[in-house]
Structure 1
């Protein structure tokens, strides 16, 4: 029996990394857009939230569509949407264009995340936890790399509102070529009927899903504010206008998130997620003190610590869910998971932007962080009460037939 090719798995992870990088690319540039077009924090968060709302719509349909028609057609369509969105960004002349571009990216990236995650499970059906680990690391590596490089480009003033989008367009195109070349991962019989399915979670894994979903909702509500408002808040607190500093605060957080997922891979997923949830809560409170202090080094270090626990919370929650989701429901369950994640990203971000416009970003930062810290604490407490549907798989071996459901 021949060994399946490994390159499609790696190519899908690369595509996911670039796609998440696309979603975060404007983060260091919002200050430039705001200065050029004179808009308030609420506008920044609405532009950002347009992505999250569109991604939410996308995950409602991408999972079920990819279950029925295959992963490749959904991924190719999503790549097309991302490319059009990058072109709109590069040619943008006002806020309306930013909103259109973010909607296109939300639709495209949301579909890539859901269909790609399901495809990874298809390619390695006996390694759900490992697929969740790899996905989480790829997401954060993509965000960290792209945000840092965009910030460098912006600080050097190398056409920062055009060059990053052209570069990302080339990388996404390469991802599309890889998807075209790979065989269809989802080989099960599929019903040839267009149907927008409601995300569903099998009753047997409901406790595990609630725990994983609450953890990702708490952590992604932080992610929304970090990618839209935090570069400006941190720069203002440190008394600097250096664009590289604002971008680096976000990039270092995403980088340590990737490291933490690798470090936590040897822990049982549920235990690691609980530590991540509770650690994120403490780190959020530490960020309040760092912003009040205003020391640049302290801000960067605190962001790094927050990123470490954020990554542990998100990656381990995803890994825990990957172990228990039944094969026949992969698309629908991943849709439900990311619907909640993107909802948690969009709504708090819009509220934070509105509050920042009314009272000022510095004034609303502490209350927002406290509220999210409470949510993270609740996720950790719930995790302590969940016993789990199946034992964590050994990441060094493949389970035998009839082992843990994935």
Structure 2
């Protein structure tokens, strides 16, 4: 089979897996209201995704090395379909938690296997191109699900079965069957089914950067919509979540032309800058600032930082790409979940705005500390950043 066929099919499968992840985000408040729960419960449901994903990354990140790349991707598509169907049949906060766990498991399986598979299709000498295709497909998926559901709700009106759900029910099973028919390029190894992640030497800063960047994205996706709803701007939730990821996708071709170190350094600048502008928009109730800040944080999270980090760990672990990808996402998703849960607790205690202010202060301090340690411990990387 020509490479021209499996590459777009694999990208479409990864897009669909991640499309399902935030598909239900514009309905969070509806599921929460059905169970009469507050901000803490909403953020816990949001972070339940990580409760499924982290164990999958830690224990099964190298599963595809043993059973091949196709089966984990197929299983991820099936899990996404089942999780969404559960929300249709039993719309509640409890169902949302279960669905998010299943979606996390699916993402963990698909992203580790998919990254390794794409690199194998293109060849090891094109690892950065493979990373670009994977990050593009998954970024569009993560952001597109929420946007499409938001549009569907705007057109259809209040419903628990938006057309976006129906589209997933049609596309995901078809792609699951197609994924099983993709060519087997990898050579399965006689390794344990349970394989821990790999953290390649010298990549800690890329992992921490992912944690900081995705913590900001988590706040944008989980907490900012609650504040928008409180100000009668809930209809903008889908667009905010879409921009939180899509702008990063637009920046990925630029990041690809930069060294990984330079792209990472730019991400460190944009992460706190974007959140401060977003925070100003929330403070002064200016939607334009919220959208601008969201775009800037997106450029960092899913643009420069994401591509640089994925490319770096892939290059540094050529024999263990699936497990190295799992290690990177362990960093990313701890950042994606824990600050969001803490902010939800603070929001219930003190209000949403104070919780966001607290997050912003910690984010700026942590970014400054990491950058200083990076400059002192990795002078060669620092010279690469400044072009010497």
**TM-score of the pair, normalised by structure 1:** 0.87
* CA 17–156 in structure 1, closer or farther in 2 if over 3 Å, else same: same
Note if contact 2:310-2:325 (Cα within 8 Å) is conserved in structure 1. no
Report the TM-score when normalising by structure 2: 0.90
What is the aligned counterpart of 1:217 among 208, 211, 214? Answer: 211
Give the Å deviation of 1:216.
0.7
Counterparts of 1:241 and 1:5, CA distance in 2:
45
Post-superposition CA distance 1:349-399 (Å, at most 9, x none): 2111111111111221111122123333444445545436xx99xxxxxxx
Where in structure 2 are there 5+ consecutive unaligned residues? none
| Alpha-carbon spacing, 1:128–1:149, altered in 2? closer, same or farther (3 Å) | same
Residues 213-266 of structure 1 show CA distances to partners (whole Å, capped at 9, x for unaligned) of: 111111111122222121122343xx32442x1221221221211111122221
Aligned-residue offset at 1:60: 2.0
Q: Which runs of 5+ in 1 are unaligned?
A: 393-406
Shift of 1:285: 1.9
Deviation by residue 1:283-317 (Cα, 9 ceiling, x = unmatched): 22222222111112222122112212222222222
CA distance in 1, matches of 2:228, 2:371: 27
Structure 1 pair 376–174 and aligned structure 2 pair: CA distance change class (3 A): farther
Cα drift, residue 123 of structure 1: 1.3
Offset of residue 16 of structure 1: 1.6
Aligned to 1:81: 79
1:202-351 correspondence to structure 2 within 5 Å: 205-207=200-202, 209-236=203-230, 239-243=231-235, 245-310=236-301, 311-326=303-318, 328-351=319-342
CA deviation vs aligned residue, 1:160-181 (integer Å, no higher than 9, x gap): 4223322222222232132122
Please, which moves more after superposition, 33-42 or 379-388?
Answer: 379-388
Give the direction of change, closer, same or farther, for the CA distance of 1:383–1:234 in structure 2 (3 Å limit).
Answer: farther
Residues 58, 111 of structure 1: 8 Å contact kept: yes
Tell me the alpha carbon deviations over residues 102-125 of structure 1, each in whole angstroms, 9 at most, x when there is no partner. Answer: 111111121111111111122122
Displacement of 1:31 in angstroms is 1.8
Equivalent pair of 2:277/2:289 in contact (CA under 8 Å): no
- Please provide the CA RMSD for this pair: 2.2
Question: Which structure 2 residues correspond to residues 55-204 of structure 1 after superposition, within 5 A?
Answer: 55-124=53-122, 125-158=124-157, 160-163=159-162, 164-187=164-187, 189-191=188-190, 194-201=192-199
State the distance in 1 between where 2:12 and 2:288 align: 31
Q: C-alpha displacement at 1:62, in angstroms?
A: 3.2
- The whole-number CA distance in structure 2 between the counterparts of 1:242 and 1:65 is 40
> Separation in 2 of the partners of 1:149 and 1:79?
18
1:1-80 aligned within 5 A = 4-80=2-78
Query: May I ask how many residue pairs the two structures share in their alignment?
Result: 378
Give 1:341 shift.
1.5
Give the C-alpha shift of residue 4 in structure 1: 4.2
| CA pair 169-277 structure 1, distance change in 2 beyond 3 A | farther
